[in-house]
Structure 1
Amino acid sequence: MGLSGLLVLPQAFGAIYLGETFCSYISINNSSNFEVRDVVIKAEIQTERQRILLLDTSKSPVESIRAGGRYDFIVEHDVKELGAHTLVCTALYNDGDGERKYLPQFFKFMVANPLSVRTKVRVVKESTFLEACIENHTKTSLYMDQVEFEPAQHWSATILKADDHPSESNALTREIFKPPILIRSGGGIHNYLYQLRLSSHGSAQMKVEGSNVLGKLQITWRTNLGEPGRLQTQQILGSPITRKEIELQVVDVPSVTVLERPFLIHLNLTNQTDRKMGPFKVSLSQSDTQEEKVVMVDGLQTLALQQVEAFSSTNFHLDLIATKVGVQKITGITVFDTGEEKTYDPLPDLEIFVDSD
């Protein structure tokens, strides 16, 4: 045949990894003693899911390749799928007798995962913390250009570092001349920590209610020879966000109170919905146990509050009195919505110190 498969790729291409660019130099050799003409060349990558065309000269065939000559080309492909791949190269040409001939060649290779990313999500008060551990599975060290967390809508993210309080000039210098983070071959790891916050409250919190999508990581790196790689994780999930309709918070509690003398605690009631709520009744509910209450309401047992507008709040105070000295607990402060006839979870217990004088 006019074109032969003398140039055969090795059985193993070497390490080919997801997120990198597969690049192959291909040479079509005319090993005959006659010229071949009108050569149509195709090269494509085949995977279990798809076929990607890399080169097709159908519309402008190579006019001729002389006897002993060759035609060279380079194909590139951004590897985005794990598993078995096949590089298919074909040539359609006229031989010395003008007969149309067809030559296919197949080169198989496997694509492996260069990195593993393990994440943990922790919630502390109003903040969500994301830990990401990146492990290098390749046989070469990787220089991480960027490990950036792209938060989902209504979230913001800040990367936390050990030296998070540098001087302004040093911080600017480090931002411009960032030393690369090296993750060594064969199981080297590096950890990243991000602090996530809801970018705004109120309506934004309503829109993400019930959703547990936090965002995804964009990872870029370079090998020892400077070859780039890029991966994007799937969406990282946290705990589903539940929105409280009503939030009751403590504004101020006296540090010391006097036995059997009235004192005030200041509270704030926030409506976190997009509709008007209330009126409300605030009271100290009875405990499930038979223990006598040490701190009680001084005066009317129920405090009435007016309606609260959407995404608004109101401040109020409760008159209380303590009947026993020492460290005591204020328990069971409860809000009841008279409009919807709904009782909300009580305020967490508060501790006060009661003096005898």
Structure 2
Amino acid sequence: MSDLFLEIQIQNISSSTVFIQKVLLKPPEMYTREELNTVNQAGEDQCTFGTRTFLQSMEGRQYLYYLELKQEFSEKAGTIRGLIEMGTLDIVWKRDLGEMAMLQTIQLQREAPGYGNMRLSLETIPDTVILEEPFNIICKITNCSGRKMKLVLKMCDTDSIRWCGSSGRYLGKLSPSSSLCFTLTLLSLKLGLQGVSGIQVTDKVLKKTYACDNLAKICVIPSTFKMKN
């Protein structure tokens, strides 16, 4: 789990028109919320739905939110499995303009992505690199299992990527729900948009190897382009 975009669809399934007074997402403790349901016009934020506050029968609309994972939960996030709480959605609505509004609260849930026993992610990677010039990336491994791991790192060259440095290096022991970061150096042999692949991590305790491919995309440009700029 990490930062995510949350789309919520509201639909009027009654036979009459309803008026929406307020829609409020209360995120779970581990996230902060940013609403993406406004556009800036002439220096003022305007609702993407305009001034229209009602929904006809069977009509719906989508609300979009950006949820950012709090730093203190970053280590724990990789070990969460199954259904997780995604906060609550409060909808204040009524059928007629003169009647009292009603509050409806909906509990939101989603299935946590399955990372298996180990997750490898990229902390830092450049957007653009120069052809055949070395560059660095910072990787993070998270132990998503309930036991200690002893990890060995191996880098395998591909047709577009060459890894620099010695392969088969020992990364050390990694306790459950903890992470470690390390820096790798590589270079690209092909121009254009290239994928970063070829990392293998072996857990010496279980003698199991995890292949980590397609970690990210990088844009590779020729050195002449760099000189002109």
Name the TM-score class by shorter chain: 0.5 to 0.7
Deviation at 1:164, TM superposition (A): 5.9
Distance 1:150 1:301 in 2: 47
- Matched with 1:268 is 139
| TM-score computed with the length of structure 2 as normaliser | 0.65
Name the larger-Rg structure. Answer: 1
Measured after TM superposition, the shift of residue 129 of structure 1 is: 1.6
Q: How many angstroms does 1:183 deviate by?
A: 0.8
Give the one of 16, 20, 36 matched to 1:144.
20
User: What's the secondary structure of 1:336's corresponding residue?
Assistant: strand
Give, in whole Å, the separation in 2 of the partners of 1:249 and 1:236. Answer: 29
The equivalent position to 1:247 in structure 2, one of 116, 120, 123, is: 120
Which of 196, 200, 203 is the equivalent residue of 2:67?
196
Deviations 1:120-152 (A, max 9, x none): xxx9x831322222326354x543232223445
- How far residue 240 of structure 1 moved from its aligned partner, in angstroms, is 3.1
Q: Which structure has more RCO (C-alpha within 8 Å, separation ≥ 6)?
A: 2
For residues 265 and 134 of structure 1, do their structure 2 counterparts lie closer, same or farther at Cα, with a shift above 3 Å needed? Answer: same
> Residues 295 and 154 from structure 1, CA distance in 2 versus in 1: closer, same or farther, beyond 3 angstroms?
closer
Contact residue 88 and residue 108 of structure 2 kept, 8 A: yes
Provide the residue aligned with 2:53 in structure 1: 182
Q: Name the residue aligned to 2:227.
A: none
What RMSD over aligned residues (CA atoms) do the two structures have, in Å?
4.2
Give 1:314's match in structure 2, choosing from 171, 181, 184: 181
**Structure 1, gaps ≥5 residues long:** 1-122, 288-292
Amino-acid identity (%) = 15
Q: Secondary structure at the match of 1:278?
A: strand
Q: Indicate the SS of the match to 2:38.
A: coil
Match of 1:163 in 2: 39
- Specify the alignment match of 1:64 in structure 2: none
Q: Is the contact made by 1:330 and 1:352 (CA closer than 8 Å) also made in structure 2?
A: no
Distance between the aligned counterparts of 1:325 and 1:137, measured in 2?
Answer: 58
The separation in 2 between residues aligned to 1:184 and 1:354, in whole angstroms, is 50
Identify the residue that residue 54 of structure 1 maps to in structure 2. none
Cα distance 1:232–1:300, how it changes in 2: closer, same or farther (>3 A)? closer
* Alignment TM-score, normalising by the size of structure 1: 0.46
Name structure 2 gaps, 5 residues minimum.
225-229
Q: Distance in 1 between matches of 2:38 and 2:8?
A: 14
Is 2:151 the partner of 1:279?
yes
How many residues matched? Answer: 212
Give the deviation of 1:284 after TM superposition.
Answer: 0.9
- Residue 331 (1) aligns with residue 197 (2): yes
Correspondence for 2:8: 131
Mapped partners of 2:28, 2:110: distance in 1: 12
Give the CA deviation at 1:161: 1.6
Letter in 1 for 2:75: G
1:154 aligns with 2:24: no
In 2 relative to 1, CA 342–163 (structure 1 residues): closer, same or farther, beyond 3 Å? Answer: same
Structure 2 distance, partners of 1:354, 1:184, is 50
Q: Quick one: distance in 2 between partners of 1:155 and 1:271? A: 19
